[in-house]
A and B are shown apart, each in its own frame.
Chain A
Amino acid sequence: MNLKLTQIKDLPRIEVEIRYPEMNKTVQQLIRRIESVNHAIYGNDNGRQYRIPYEDIFYIESVDKKTFIYTEKQVFRSDMRLYQLLDDLASFEFVQVSKSCILNINVLESIQTLANSRIEVTLQNGERLNVSRTYIPQIKKALSNEA
């Protein structure tokens, strides 16, 4: 893949053109990645509102009907419900891993079964999350689309 960057000072906004010999999974992945930069969720932290790009989100969790957005080091509160976010995030490499959690598959480090037959994923920042076995096929499918 060749990466060509051109600075044009009077251009009103960033333009991205992808040239490809054939549409394949790598190109599709690239498109999703670039599009995800344009998409963001607004979350609150200590009364201040922040714009959180999709690519910075590690996972989103619903606890007691409250929605929390987790990035690598920060946690934000969102007014949106988990199912609303899932609708938006489904096409951007996010997958539901339990009834109350949506995960960015880009931060998935590994998955393991525990002695008590529970399933757990490890994220790039070392954090661990429980996974419901009913969502395993969805994770597999999300990664298959990627591979």
Chain B
Amino acid sequence: MKEFFKKLLTNFGMVLIMAFLVPAWVNHNWQPFIAVMQIFLVVLVIHLGQLLTNRFSSQYRFLELGLEFLMVLTVVLVFGGLFNWYTLELIWIMPAMVVPVYIGAYILDITRTRREVEAINIQIQRRKERLMNASTREKDQ
């Protein structure tokens, strides 16, 4: 299922880029394609930023989350300002966009982590059983 969604989103990304690139090439209107690439750049910077925020660890999880959210919001506001995505009167639109996306991504992350933890527990259990079987066989012989 994980691989299915990975492939689906990768293909969607490629189709999206081509869907904007080809018409831009044909019509000599690069604006929509540039907008898509701007979003891609922001997402890339956020992912690079996460590599840095992941280095910070605190005994309080909310501090880690707060730092990560602050980083995401800062990147969106800075790049949004550079790319003229908003005016100062409508600046609230940026956090209004960031918050639901961040919450969605956080829920996905928790779900994925829980699945991985379950998988690790199964691996530990199998390993224990294997070691137990090996020692039982040894005793029998």
Given contacts A3-B138, A99-B57, A116-B61, contact A136 B114 (CB under 8 A): no
Are B126 and A111 within 8 A (Cβ)?
no
- State which of A8-16, A59-67, A71-79, A139-147 sits at the interface with chain B: A139-147
Judge whether B124 and A108 touch: CB under 8 Å: yes
> Do residues B123 and A144 form an inter-chain contact, with CB atoms below 8 A?
yes
Cα A147 to Cα B55 in complex, Å, equals 30
Q: In whole Å, how far is B130's beta carbon from the nearest beta carbon of chain A?
A: 8
Answer yes or no: A44 CB below 8 A from chain B CBs.
no
Residues in B neighbouring A140, C-beta threshold 8 A: 116, 119-120, 123
Interface on chain A toward B: helix, strand, loop, or mixed SS? mixed
Question: Is there contact, CB below 8 Å, between B124 and A143?
Answer: yes
The residue that A117 contacts in the complex, of B61, B121, B124, with Cβ under 8 A, is B61
Is there an interface contact between B113 and A136, defined as CB atoms closer than 8 Å? yes
Kindly state the separation between the CA atoms of A3 and B57 in the bound complex, as whole angstroms. 47
Min C-beta distance of A86 to chain B, whole Å: 16
Give chain A residues whose Cβ lies under 8 Å from the Cβ of B120: 111, 136, 139-140, 143
Q: Does A46 contact B (CB under 8 A)?
A: no
**Is A36 interfacial (CB 8 A cutoff)?**
no
Measured in the bound complex, the distance between the Cα atoms of B117 and A108 in whole Å is: 13
Bound CA–CA A110/B119 (angstroms): 11
CA distance A111 to B57 in the complex (A): 19
We find that the number of chain A residues with CB closer than 8 angstroms to chain B is: 27
Q: How far is the CA of A110 from the CA of B127 in the complex (A)?
A: 12
- B residues near A111, Cβ cutoff 8 Å: 117, 120-121, 124
Complexed CA–CA distance, A118 and B124 (Å): 19
The answer to whether A110 touches B121, judged by C-beta atoms less than 8 angstroms apart, is: yes
Report A-chain residues with C-beta under 8 Å of the C-beta of B91: none
Q: Is B134 an interface residue (CB 8 A)?
A: yes
Measured CB to CB, the closest approach of chain A to B134, in angstroms, equals 6
Residue contact A143 to B123, C-beta cutoff 8 Å: yes
Closest to A136 in B: B116
B interface residues (Cβ-Cβ under 8 A, vs A): 54-55, 57, 61, 109-110, 113-114, 116-117, 119-121, 123-124, 126-127, 130, 134, 137-138, 141
List 8 A-B pairs, minimum CB-CB distance, nearest first. A143-B123, A134-B54, A116-B61, A111-B120, A136-B116, A113-B117, A111-B117, A133-B113
Tell me the A residues contacting B by CB distance below 8 Å. Answer: 1-3, 26, 98-99, 108-113, 116-119, 132-134, 136-137, 139-140, 143-144, 146-147
